Amino acid sequence: MNAATKPGIKRGVSLYSYQEEYYLRNLSLEQCIAQASKIGAYGIESIGEQMMPGFPNLSDAFYEKWRGWMQQYGTVSSCHDAMLDTKKYKHRLLTDDECMVEFERDLKHAAKLGAKVIRVLCMVKPEIMVKAVPIAEKYDVKMGVEVHAPYYFDHPWIMRHLEAAQKLGTKHYGLVPDMGIFTARLPRVARDRMERMGATPKILDYVSAAYETGELSEYIIFEARKMGGNQLDVAWAEQCRHSVNTNPKRLTEFMPYIFHIHAKFYEMLDDGTEYSIPYHKIIPALKAGNYQGYLSSEYEGNRHIQDAFPVDSVEQVRRQQAMFERLLAA
Amino acid sequence: MFDRYLICEETARNVTEGGKTTGFQFGARIAYYRGLGLSMVEGIGVSVDGEAVPSENIRFTVTGGTFTLAQMETEYEARWEFGEVATVTVLKPGGLAAGEHKIELTEQMRIAYLPFPLTGRDTKVVRIG
């Protein structure tokens, strides 16, 4: 049984996770795929503009090579992350018709990779999605709007997307939740970076602790100012407003619309848990909803430590995948 | 993001054409997690030893060609790929004097989902000659 047809929750990696190594040319695209395969994370999610130079004008030879890698490493293409550069022109946004051209381009690319899903950025309007549905159906590639903090499942913008999808009754318009919507604790690695930049440790600690209690962001921001916080301290407090800690049980309820999952993480600890995001609550909720898609690792800690420490994305992803293995088997 | 990697300091050198030193250049990476079409790279700012370089004296070279900043505004084909070391050339007769110089690079990008421009900044001491 291959990776794509196995029933149950499947493990995968978004190559976004290995951006640091790719950026510095320490890992090639093929080596990133090989790393994911090595740890049994067979679903490969990719961003054309990140590791496929020349995108969107890729040659047939590239796609052949890609399919060859999938075969060689026992992997499948799980998802293509579409970007939709609506600000391509300096003085105007893309028109709806121009957006459709981009959608068709991305859906076609996904189909050529063998991906069944594209991730659509959450800022894309429901009206645009509705127009793109016939194209998605033509290529049989599902479009999932990313539910990324500060959006969350019940956010009015996401609700509008769901209502639009329900009205059409299509199987090609849904969601790709990013597990950052379950941020129970602000990333410690981000806090420490703020301290290195010149923030006040006492205020950073106050903010992190207050966030964990669920205190309203506006109160925390106000308090950080009152404590005499500098610009960085206040920026850290404002991070509370960009972060959300919602109930993982909501995953079960929204399951019919969940096509793919961004398993965001910032820091895997030595004990095999993630500092900010409670996967021990997320995975049971996915099981309860009989989720059949991918848990796609999305490491985003590198940007918080790269100024001061060597980044080892490969090890971070390995640890997260080991945690998934353990939680999935439980 | 990636700020410490933007300037590739070991690539800094004077540019000589027809026996004349016409300026200096250095390699630069993008401060973002993916590549962008050049029209979305809104600004490339350089200062040397605290002095800002006039933007018309900057040339930007990627695999797809060499551009002035004004040309980049309407360049919809050439891209600055993720991790690609582009070349920033500063036109300056005589180039830089031999020795150490402090170079500051700022990059400003227009990103669909960000309400504000994305900015990256790096400062490195480079050695010429």
pLDDT at A269: 97
Cβ neighbours of A298 (radius 10 Å): 23
- Specify the pTM: 0.96
Residue A120: what residue type?
V
Query: Mean pLDDT, to the nearest integer, of A193-203?
Result: 98
Q: Which chain B residues are closer than 8 Å to A54 by Cβ?
A: 79, 81
pLDDT at B57: 98
* Inter-chain residue contact A24 with B34, CB threshold 8 Å: no
Q: Which chain B residues are closer than 8 Å to A89 by Cβ?
A: 39
Q: Which residue has the higher pLDDT, B115 or A16?
A: A16
Q: Using pLDDT thresholds of 50, 70 and 90, give the confidence band for residue B129.
A: confident
Cβ neighbours of A31 (radius 10 Å): 13
Domain containing residue B39: 3-128
**Cα–Cα distance, B81 to B62 (Å, whole number):** 8
The CATH homologous superfamily for domain A10-183+244-329 is Divalent-metal-dependent TIM barrel enzymes (3.20.20.150)
**Cα–Cα distance, A303 to B33 (Å, whole number):** 10
Q: What are phi and psi of A45, to 5 degrees?
A: -105, 140
Tell me: cis bond preceding A56? Omega within 30 of 0 counts: yes
Residue A324 in this model has a pLDDT that exceeds 70 = yes
Query: Mean pLDDT, to the nearest integer, of B22-39?
Result: 98
* Inter-chain residue contact A51 with B39, CB threshold 8 Å: no
pLDDT at A4: 59
CB pairs below 8 Å between A and B: how many? 67
Q: Is A157 on the interface with B (CB under 8 A)?
A: no
Q: Which chain A residues are closer than 8 Å to B29 by Cβ?
A: 23
Residue ranges per domain, chain A? Answer: 10-183+244-329, 188-240
Q: How many domains does chain B have?
A: 1
Q: Which chain B residues are closer than 8 Å to A88 by Cβ?
A: 37, 39-40, 76
Among all residues of chain A, which has the CA nearest to that of B76?
Answer: A88
Kindly calculate the radius of gyration of chain B based on its CA atoms and give it in whole angstroms. 14
Q: Using pLDDT thresholds of 50, 70 and 90, give the confidence band for residue A1.
A: very low
Query: Mean pLDDT, to the nearest integer, of B117-128?
Result: 97
Span A28-77, pLDDT tens digits? 999 999 999 999 999 999 999 999 999 999 999 999 999 999 999 999 99
Mutate to test the interface with B, among A90, A99, A121 (most CBs of B within 10 A): A90
Residue A321 in this model has a pLDDT that exceeds 80 = yes
Query: Mean pLDDT, to the nearest integer, of A236-256?
Result: 97
Q: Which chain B residues are closer than 8 Å to A90 by Cβ?
A: 39, 42, 73, 110
Span A252-280, pLDDT tens digits? 999 999 999 999 999 999 999 999 999 99
Nearest-by-Cβ selection for B34 from A47, A89, A306? A47
